[in-house]
Amino acid sequence: MEHDDLYGAKDRTLDELRTAVATVLNITFEAHESLYLGGDYFRSRGPAGEHLEILRNDSGFEEDGEDEDNLIEPDFSDYSVLLRVNSTKRGDELKDRLAAVPGLVFLGRR
């Protein structure tokens, strides 16, 4: 069964988290840009076909003229950078490996 895992970091930059996750998982991330996702972000595909994204939690995307920034994951507003692991069948294995990344916290599974 496939599921999606979410991780967060409070005191890491996008690039710092990209480097740490790439090293632990032995994968390469590509830089991308999306206004909807808050500008620059990184994307990779794991060897088992899962999709990984490292992005800012604050999208900066305003809807309907709202004056405040919108969070991608409002329930985790304390985490400035997110790692999403989508469509994975090996979530527990990745969770164990990602535990080696300082400052990265497992936030939940969907």
* Terminal Cα distance for the chain, rounded: 11
Portion of the chain with pLDDT greater than 70, in percent = 86
DSSP-assigned letters across all residues of 54-91? EEESB-----TT-SSPPBSSGGGTT-SEEEEEEEES-H
Average pLDDT of span 77-94: 95
Q: What is the dihedral of CA 69, 72, 75, 81, to 10 degrees?
A: -100
Look up the CATH number of the domain holding residue 49: 3.30.310
25 falls within a domain = yes
Q: What global pTM score does this model have?
A: 0.88
Task: Extract the tokens encoding 87.
Answer: 């469509």
Is residue 66 a part of any domain in this protein?
no
| Number of domains comprising the chain | 1
- 50 within some domain: yes
Residue 36, domain member (yes or no): yes
Q: 30 and 43 in contact (C-beta within 8 Å)?
A: yes
Domain assignment of residue 65, yes or no? no
Q: Is residue 26 part of a domain?
A: yes
Domain boundaries, position 94: 3-59+71-109
Q: Specify if 51 maps to a domain.
A: yes
**What digits encode the pLDDT tens for the residues 29-71?**
999 987 666 678 999 998 888 999 999 998 765 555 554 568 8
Tell me what pLDDT residue 67 has.
45
Is 64 within a domain? no
pLDDT of residue 70: 84
